[in-house]
Structure 1
Amino acid sequence: MNIDISSKIILTISLLIFMGCGSSAIVSTPVENIDTTPLKVSELTEIEQKTWSHLDLIKDTIPGMSVHKAYTELIKNKKGKTIIVAVIDSGIDIDHEDLNDVIWTNKNEIPNNGKDDDNNGYIDDIHGWNFLGEARFEQLEYVRLLVSGDRNNPRYSEALSEYNETNQKYLNLKAQYEQLINEVNVADKIVSKHLKKKGYTITEVNAIKTENKALQESVALIQFIFRSDFETIAVAMTAFENDLTKITNRLNYHLNKTFKGRQTDDDINDLTDVGYGNGNVKPIDKSENHGTHVAGIIAAERNNSKGVKGVANNVKIMAIRNTPSGDEYDKDVALAIRYAVDNGAKIINMSFGKYYSPHSDWVRDAIAYAGDKDVLIIHGAGNESLNLDLKNSFPNDQLNSDVEVSDNFLSVGAITQKYGSGLIAKYSNYGKINVDVFAPGSAIHSTFPENSYETIQGTSMAAPAVAGIAALIRSQYPKLTASEVKQIIMESGVSINTKLVVAGDSNTIKELHQISKSGKIVNAYNALIQASLIARQ
C-alpha cells in the first residue's frame, strides 16, 4: 500500500466537512435583556443534548425556546382547542409509538372502500394524502429544465452551468470516497493482522512500533480516523459508506437526465389534473425519515413516558407526502397546501425547498389561498449558507423582493445550542428581508420510523419548532388570526445583540437583526404572554 498521509488527511477532513428540515390574561415577565447571560462552558448532559431546544436561556444558559417554562408556569393544566397541523413532507410513520395518538383522522371518509365519501376529490384519504404514489427518487428541478430542452427559458444557461459543475463535483466525490473506503479497509486489515485481533482501540494502535513502511502508513491513517471523533473503524466505515450511498443516489437519480421518477400518470403542467396519488401517507422506505422527525418535533406525545416530547400538546398531525429524494414538483406543493387548507389544517409546516421553480405562481396562489382561509404556513429557510435576499428560494410568498402575496408565511433559520458567536448554524440560510426568525435546528432529537429516535439538524428542524409554538398559541387563543400569530412569534422572540458568525465564515460577522426580519430567536414563553395580551384586546 502506498498512502500519502498528508494528502489523505486533507481528503478526510474535506469529506468529514461534507457530511455534513380567548383565555384569561397571563401575568408574567417575558424573557428579555439576555445579552449579559453567561456562556455555558460545561458540556451538555445527555438529557440537555436531547431536550436543549425546549430549555431556557436564562435558567439553563442554553438558547432554547423556553418550552418547559411555558408549560410549567403558563399552560399548566389548560388543554386548549385541538389544532390540526399539516406536515407536508416525505411521509410520516403514523404507527410510531410517540405519534400514533396525535395523527389526524378524516372522520368523513370510510377506510378502504375505494370511494370518495366526503367528495373532497381524494379517495380513502384517512390520515392525509400521498401525492407521490410509489415514487421515492426524483431529479433536481434544474435537471428537469435541461431535459425539457427549453432553451428559451431565461434560466436554461444557468441550469446547464450548475448541472455541469455539480455533476463533476459529485463524480469527484464518488471517486474520493471509493478511494478512502478502499484505503481504510486495507489499513484496517494490516493493523488487525499485526495486532492479531479485530476491534482494536486507539491505545493499542498508538502502542505499535515498527519499521515496516506499509504498517507505519496504515497506523497513521487509522490514528487519524480515531482522532476524527469516530469511536471505532467500523463506525467510520459505516459513515463513509452511507455518504457514498448518498453521493451515488445524487448521481443516479437527482442528476440523472434519463431517470424518470414520476409514477402517478398525471400531467405535471396541468394544475387541474388532480386526484392522482393515494392515501398511503407512510414513508415508502425507512430511509424516508424526514417527515417523521418533523412531526415529532411538533407534536410527539408529551405524556406517554416514551421517546421525546413535542412542542405542542393539543395537536393532530395531518400527513401529506409530496417530498421525494430530489426536488418536489410545484404542482404537488400547490395542491398539498390546498388539500391541507380545505381539510381543516390551521398551520402548515413545509421543511423543503429549491432554487428553480417553473410554476412558482401556482404555489404563491396556494399560499395566498391559505392566507384567505386563515392558515399559517411555516417554512424552513434552507441549508446552503446563502443570503436569501440575494438568491431566490422556493417556495416563497413574494412577487419580488418586497411585495408579499399574504401575511401568513413565516420563514425560519436555524440556531445551535451554543449561545455566543457560534449561535447561528453554519449551514443556515439567512436574510434581513426573506428570513423572519431563527429557531433551534441543530442536534435536534426526535422521532424516526419504526419506533426509533435520532438526532439530526437543519432548518427543516427549526421550522417545526416554530410550527409547534404557533400550534400552542392557536390552541390556547383560538380567536387569534394567522397573521396575528405570525406577528406574535416575530415580535415576542428574544433579541440578541451579540456579534454572530454567519454561514460558518469567521470573516462574516453580523448581528441577528441584520440577517433576519425580526432580529430574534423564537420563544414559546414570551409568545404565550404576548398572545394573552393581544387576545384581551
Structure 2
Amino acid sequence: MKFKSILLSSALALFLASCGAKKITATPLEVTSTITAKKAKLTEAQEQRWSHLDLVNDSVPGMSVDRAYELLKGRKATKVVVGVIDSGVDIEHPDLKDVIWTNTKEIPNNGIDDDKNGYIDDVHGWNFLGDVEHENMEFVRIVKKGDDGSATYKRAKAEYDEEIQQIQAGKKRIQYIYDANKEFEKVLGKGYTAEQVKNLKTDNQMLNDSKERFVRILAQVDQNELSSELEEAMNGVGDEGKYHLNIDYSPRKDILKDNADDWNANGYGNNVAWGPEKEGALHGTHVAGIIAQARGNGIGGDGVASNYVEIMSVRAVPDGDEYDKDVAKAIRYAVDNGAKVINGSFGKYYATHSDWVYDAIKYAADKDVLIVFAAGNEGMDLDADNTERYPNDDKNTLTQYTDNILTVGALGYDYGTKVVAPFSNYGKVKVDVYAPGMRIYATTPNNEYKYLQGTSMASPNAAGVAALVRAYYPKLSAVQVKHILMDSGLALPGNVIVGGDPSNTRPFAEASQSGKIVNAYNAIILADKESRK
C-alpha cells in the first residue's frame, strides 16, 4: 500500500505540474453604478501609492495592485526584463539598484564588446544620446533642412513661426508674475498668504495690479511652491529658446558626432545609464520607479512589479524631441537583449524616418515583445482627421499594422466626470486603455522622490501590470497580455470630461478602444484563465 500511495502521489504531482498552480477562482471586480463625483480624501501615505488602491475598497480609481498581490501569494514567478526607453535611469538609486538589469555576457569596463552585440561595455543598457542633454523639436529640425515643397515642411514652418511668437509672449507674462512675486516677498516676506495679499495696502502699482491674480493663485498653491514653479518656468522658457527652437543649435552633429539620417551609421553613444548628468534622467528614473521601486520598504512609493522585473535602461529621449533612428535602435537593442516588455513614455507629432520605427516595432512583435506607449499630454482626440502622433501602431491610418502596442491614457484619483486627466489625449481607436497618471510618486535622481504627472506616468503603471502578468504567466504571448489588460479592465458607466473641457463629454466607453481602466487584480484572474486554455 505504501508503494501504491507513492505512485499515486507521483501521478498527482505530475498532473498538478502539467496544470500549473491552483486555479484562481476569484470573481473579477466590476463597477455597476453610474459615475458620480467623489473627491478623494487621501492620507499622504495613500496618495504616494494611490495607483495601487481600488474603487471597491478605497473609492479611488487605482489598479487594484494590492488586491492582485493577495491573489498571487504562494505562486511562483520568473523575472521579466522591462526596457525603459527614456531620458536615462539613475541606476544607483537605493530604491532601484537591486532591480537593474545586468548584461552577464559583458565584462564591465574592459573596453571590449564581449558579447559582440555592437555595444562596448553595455553592462546595464545603452545610452544612444551620449553626452547630449537637450535637443531641437522635430519640426525645428525639418525647418532647418529647408523648404522641399512638401506639406510637412509647410506645417512645420507654420508651427515654428507660431511657437516663436508664443514663447516671446509667454516669456513676458512669466517674467511679470516672477517679478511681482519678488516684490510681494519684499513687502510681506517669504511664505506670504492669499489673505495677506488681499489685505495689503500699498502704493506699488505692480502689486495693486497683481493682487487679484495672486489671491487666485495662492488659493491653489502655497507661496513657496509658487516660487519654485516660477523658477522652473523661467528656466523652461529659456530652454525653449536656447535649445528646442534654436535653429543654430545642433548637438547631434556637434556633440554626438552622428548622422541621424544614416541608419547604417552605428557605434555612437555610450554606456552611461543616466547621461551626462543625473538630474537630466529625472523622467526616466521616475518611470522606472513606477514599475520597479521597492515595495513596502517604508520609503518612497511602491513599484507595481518590483519583485519580478529587471529594469534595462535604454537612453534615447532627450529634453526635446527624440530621433526616429535612436528610438528604432533602442527598441531593437531592448528586444535583442531580452526585454519582454518595453515602456515608451515619449511621443511627437512629426517624424522623418517613421519607417525605421515601424520596422523596429514589427521586429519586437516577431520576437513576442509588448510595447507600452504613453498617449500624450495635449488633451487631443487622436482619432481626429489629420492627427499624426508618433510612435503608433497604425501608421496614422486608424488601421493597425501590428498588435503588440498598448497605448495608455491618464487618470486622476478624484473619481467622477473629471476622472480622465485634463491633459490626457483620448480616442476610441488610438487610445487602448487608461491608467493612473496624475500625481504619481516615484524615484527621481540622487536618492530623491517626487510627484510627477502625465501619460508618461500612466504608461509605466500599465507596463508594470503587463510585466506582472508575464512574470507569473510566461507562456502567454505579448498580444495575449495586451488584450488581457484591455479586456479585464474596469469599465466605468457614464460620461466623462475629455481634453479638460467641461463642454466636451463622452461616455467613458468611447474615450478609448477598451473603454476601461487597467486593473491588476482582474488581469491576473483573466491571465490565469487564459493560461489554462
> TM-score, normalization: structure 1?
0.91
Picking from 480, 485, 502, the partner of 1:489 is 485
1:394–1:446 distance in 2 versus 1, CA, 3 Å: same
Contact residue 99 and residue 311 of structure 2 kept, 8 A: yes
Specify the code of the residue in structure 2 equivalent to 1:341.
V
Specify the code of the residue in structure 2 equivalent to 1:363.
V
What SS is found at the alignment partner of 1:316? strand
Q: CA shift at 1:35, angstroms?
A: 2.5
**Cα distance between partner residues in 2 of 1:237 and 1:222:** 15
What SS is found at the alignment partner of 2:372? strand
* 1:157-176 → structure 2 map (5 Å cutoff): 157-176=154-173
Aligned to 2:74: 77
Aligned to 1:437: 433
Picking from 176, 180, 184, the partner of 1:183 is 180
What SS is found at the alignment partner of 1:166? helix
Specify the code of the residue in structure 2 equivalent to 1:62.
V
Aligned to 1:17: none
Aligned to 2:302: 309
Confirm or deny that 1:247 pairs with 2:255. no
1:56–1:469 distance in 2 versus 1, CA, 3 Å: same
Aligned to 1:217: 208
Q: CA shift at 1:41, angstroms?
A: 4.1
What SS is found at the alignment partner of 1:506? coil
Contact residue 39 and residue 61 of structure 1 kept, 8 A: no
Picking from 467, 473, 477, the partner of 1:477 is 473
Specify the code of the residue in structure 2 equivalent to 1:295.
A
Picking from 504, 509, 513, the partner of 2:509 is 513
Q: CA shift at 1:71, angstroms?
A: 0.7
What SS is found at the alignment partner of 2:303? coil
**Cα distance between partner residues in 2 of 1:450 and 1:341:** 29
Picking from 414, 427, 431, the partner of 2:410 is 414
**Cα distance between partner residues in 2 of 1:524 and 1:212:** 59
What SS is found at the alignment partner of 1:378? strand
Aligned to 1:280: 272
Aligned to 1:109: 106
Q: CA shift at 1:154, angstroms?
A: 2.8
1:184–1:337 distance in 2 versus 1, CA, 3 Å: same
Picking from 330, 339, 342, the partner of 1:348 is 342
Specify the code of the residue in structure 1 equivalent to 2:507.
E
Q: Structure 1: which 4+ aligned runs deviate by more than 4 Å?
A: 36-39, 197-208, 210-216
**Cα distance between partner residues in 1 of 2:202 and 2:284:** 53
**Cα distance between partner residues in 2 of 1:80 and 1:207:** 62
**Cα distance between partner residues in 2 of 1:489 and 1:482:** 11
Deviates more, 1:171-180 or 1:321-330: 171-180
CA shift digits 1:109-164 (9 cap, x unpaired): 00001000000000000000000000000000010001011423331111111111
**Cα distance between partner residues in 1 of 2:214 and 2:360:** 54
Specify the code of the residue in structure 2 equivalent to 1:314.
Y
Contact residue 35 and residue 492 of structure 2 kept, 8 A: no
1:116–1:477 distance in 2 versus 1, CA, 3 Å: same
**Cα distance between partner residues in 1 of 2:299 and 2:390:** 36
Aligned to 1:227: 218
Specify the code of the residue in structure 1 equivalent to 2:330.
A
CA shift digits 1:450-478 (9 cap, x unpaired): 11110010000000001000001000000
Picking from 55, 65, 68, the partner of 1:67 is 65
**Cα distance between partner residues in 1 of 2:379 and 2:75:** 40
**Cα distance between partner residues in 2 of 1:122 and 1:216:** 58
CA shift digits 1:362-417 (9 cap, x unpaired): 00000000000000000001000111112110011223423322210110001111
**Cα distance between partner residues in 2 of 1:273 and 1:392:** 27
Picking from 450, 455, 475, the partner of 1:459 is 455
What SS is found at the alignment partner of 2:281? coil
Contact residue 30 and residue 490 of structure 2 kept, 8 A: yes
What SS is found at the alignment partner of 1:346? strand
What SS is found at the alignment partner of 1:410? strand
Specify the code of the residue in structure 1 equivalent to 2:257.
D
**Cα distance between partner residues in 2 of 1:410 and 1:211:** 56
Specify the code of the residue in structure 2 equivalent to 1:311.
V
CA shift digits 1:277-303 (9 cap, x unpaired): 001111433143000000000111125
CA shift digits 1:471-510 (9 cap, x unpaired): 0100000000000001101100011122100101111110
**Cα distance between partner residues in 2 of 1:219 and 1:145:** 41
Confirm or deny that 1:268 pairs with 2:260. yes
Specify the code of the residue in structure 2 equivalent to 1:259.
Y
Aligned to 1:144: 141
* 1:353-432 → structure 2 map (5 Å cutoff): 353-390=347-384, 391-432=387-428
Specify the code of the residue in structure 1 equivalent to 2:23.
A
Picking from 43, 55, 75, the partner of 1:57 is 55
Deviates more, 1:414-423 or 1:80-89: 414-423
**Cα distance between partner residues in 2 of 1:516 and 1:205:** 44
Contact residue 205 and residue 219 of structure 1 kept, 8 A: no
**% identity of equivalent residues:** 47
Q: CA shift at 1:42, angstroms?
A: 5.3
**Cα distance between partner residues in 2 of 1:203 and 1:420:** 31
Contact residue 131 and residue 276 of structure 1 kept, 8 A: yes
Q: CA shift at 1:34, angstroms?
A: 3.6
Contact residue 34 and residue 58 of structure 1 kept, 8 A: no
**Cα distance between partner residues in 2 of 1:356 and 1:492:** 33
Confirm or deny that 1:132 pairs with 2:129. yes
Q: CA shift at 1:177, angstroms?
A: 1.1
1:520–1:226 distance in 2 versus 1, CA, 3 Å: closer
Q: CA shift at 1:203, angstroms?
A: 5.2
Deviates more, 1:382-391 or 1:526-535: 382-391
**Cα distance between partner residues in 1 of 2:112 and 2:88:** 22
Picking from 438, 447, 450, the partner of 2:446 is 450
**Cα distance between partner residues in 2 of 1:320 and 1:211:** 55
Contact residue 356 and residue 394 of structure 1 kept, 8 A: yes
**Structure 1 gaps, min length 5:** 1-21
Contact residue 493 and residue 527 of structure 1 kept, 8 A: yes
What SS is found at the alignment partner of 1:404? coil
Contact residue 127 and residue 275 of structure 2 kept, 8 A: no
User: What is the CA RMSD across the aligned residues, in angstroms?
Assistant: 2.0
CA shift digits 1:184-224 (9 cap, x unpaired): 323332x24xxxx655555555555x474659728936962
**Cα distance between partner residues in 2 of 1:420 and 1:91:** 35
Q: CA shift at 1:305, angstroms?
A: 3.4
**Cα distance between partner residues in 2 of 1:32 and 1:356:** 39
Picking from 94, 99, 107, the partner of 2:96 is 99
Contact residue 188 and residue 222 of structure 1 kept, 8 A: no
Q: CA shift at 1:322, angstroms?
A: 0.4
**Cα distance between partner residues in 2 of 1:164 and 1:324:** 23
Number of aligned residue pairs: 508
1:184–1:377 distance in 2 versus 1, CA, 3 Å: same
1:399–1:48 distance in 2 versus 1, CA, 3 Å: same
Contact residue 316 and residue 322 of structure 2 kept, 8 A: yes
**Cα distance between partner residues in 2 of 1:201 and 1:428:** 32
CA shift digits 1:14-35 (9 cap, x unpaired): xxxxxxxx54321101011343
**Structure 2 gaps, min length 5:** 1-19
Contact residue 415 and residue 439 of structure 1 kept, 8 A: yes
